[in-house]
Structure 1
Amino acid sequence: MDLAVEESAPLAMGSFFDALLQARRDGHLLGQQAFSSGGCKLLELKASHRRLCESTDELRLAASSECRALDQSSLQLQNLYFERQHYEKEIATCRGWASAFSDEQIALVSEEEFAALEGKLAEEADPHQRMLNRLNHEVAFRGEHVKRLDAVKAQRDALAADVAQKRSTVAGLEAEIGKLLAAAQAVQQQYGIGGSGPAAGESLQQQADGDAPPPPPAPPVDVPMQEAGA
């Protein structure tokens, strides 16, 4: 109700009663019974008006509360619509992604294998929860295989590094052997030991490689016998 009407209503009611009393004094009313009946009706009307105002205030408060609840529900509905659109876009993106592997290559383990590996998880009655259990098992299963693959790769890299180090060591040894052969050839040429030229170098090379035949035995040396007492 308008505030101006609520403030002017008591004044208008008082003016009406004053006019009613004045009419009674002037003799314009039919009698006391009619006057009393009219006053009672007016009092009932006033009480009804008060109850109506109170109920109107309660309805206004209830309507305000319902409006807030409606606004909150509308906001939640808009959020759900937005979330659904987001998930639909993500699903479309995932379905449109071109994978290098086929669905058979990246498929989950079969129901029978899952039941054999995880009996309790496979007995779930809810299909959604059972699928979640399968996905969790698949993540753990593939994670274990990834760890094994990483271990094998680390072992392969370690072996490759070891082989490379040994090759480097062998290459260094070959260089040192070449220097030793050159020094040996120079000594042979200087002192005339074992001949000279390419044949001597080849003999030394064969000895270094372990392919040369064993040298011939040395001839016996005759030592003269000294006379006794000499």
Structure 2
Amino acid sequence: MAIEKSITDPSLAAVLQISDQARDQAHALLQLADRASDGRATADVQAEIAKQQKQLFTNISHLRGLHRNACLSARDTKAQTAEARQEVDRLHLQLQNLYYEQRHLQGEITGCESYDHKYQQLPLIPVEEFLALRPEYVDSNDDERMFARIEHEREEREILEQRRQELLKRKQKLINDNKRRKDDLANLDQDLEKFIDAAKPILELFEKAP
């Protein structure tokens, strides 16, 4: 009874049912055979023995068919179980790969977060000073605010670079003007020397005059 309760598969339950029937028929047939061996084998007993034998053979044949079907079903179940196990192993391997990829990505994220980015070394103005200049970024997050600070630094550097270029141009112009003036002075000195040299004969005449 406990075995019958533990078996829920209909085909196996049918096997147990036919087995019980075949067993009961075998016991009944043995009892009839005992009666026949005692010399009480009447025509009715012989007919009952033949009937029980026929039913027993039928149940045994049926039982063999059920046994064959149960073996085939067990074989199919084993094949399905093997396929399911392979699928579970495949999914488990994929899960392990995902765990590995997750750990790898977490390591990459940690590395990126701890990386000493060059923008962190930029001499940016303090946040308070930047927010005083650009109050529209007061409610922005850190990333947006950092991007705006870097952009502000770029704009300021471009302005300073323009001023530097203008000053360089002015410096070069002053250098050129000074050089031109030096050249003019040098030419003037040469002209004066030529004038003095040309005036020497006249001075000598004045010196010889009484």
TM-score, normalised to structure 1, is 0.50
Task: List per-residue Cα deviations over 1:91-112 (Å, max 9, x = no partner).
Answer: 29999x9xxxxx9xx341442x
Change (3 A) 1:61 1:41: same
Task: List per-residue Cα deviations over 1:154-195 (Å, max 9, x = no partner).
Answer: 321221222122212211221221122111123432xx24x4
Deviation at 1:134, TM superposition (A): 1.8
Conserved 8 A contact 2:131-2:138:
yes
Pair 1:42-2:59 in alignment: no
| Distance in 1 separating the partners of 2:185 and 2:106 | 71
Specify which structure has the bigger relative contact order, considering alpha-carbon pairs within 8 angstroms and separated by 6 or more residues: 2
Q: Map 1:201-220 onto structure 2 (within 5 A).
A: none
Question: How many residues of Structure 1 are paired with residues of Structure 2 in the alignment?
Answer: 154
Change (3 A) 1:159 1:87: farther
Corresponding letter in the other structure for 1:36: H
Equivalent residue number for residue 151 of structure 1: 166
1:114 aligned to which of 130, 137, 153: 130
Deviation at 1:62, TM superposition (A): 5.5
Change (3 A) 1:141 1:94: closer
Change (3 A) 1:74 1:116: same
Structure 2 gap segments, 5+ residues each = 1-52
Q: Does 179-188 or 68-77 show the bigger shift?
A: 68-77
| Distance in 2 separating the partners of 1:149 and 1:165 | 24
Change (3 A) 1:183 1:145: same
Identity %: 14
| Distance in 1 separating the partners of 2:177 and 2:95 | 73
Q: Map 1:32-111 onto structure 2 (within 5 A).
A: 32-61=58-87, 63-64=89-90, 67-68=93-94, 70-71=96-97, 74=100, 77-78=103-104, 81=107, 84-85=110-111, 88=114, 91=116, 106-111=123-128
TM-score, normalised to structure 2, is 0.54
Equivalent residue number for residue 197 of structure 2: 182
Conserved 8 A contact 1:122-1:133:
no
Corresponding letter in the other structure for 1:91: D
Task: List per-residue Cα deviations over 1:133-154 (Å, max 9, x = no partner).
Answer: 2222222222222221232123
Q: Which has the higher helix share?
A: 2
Structure 1 gap segments, 5+ residues each = 1-26, 98-102, 197-230
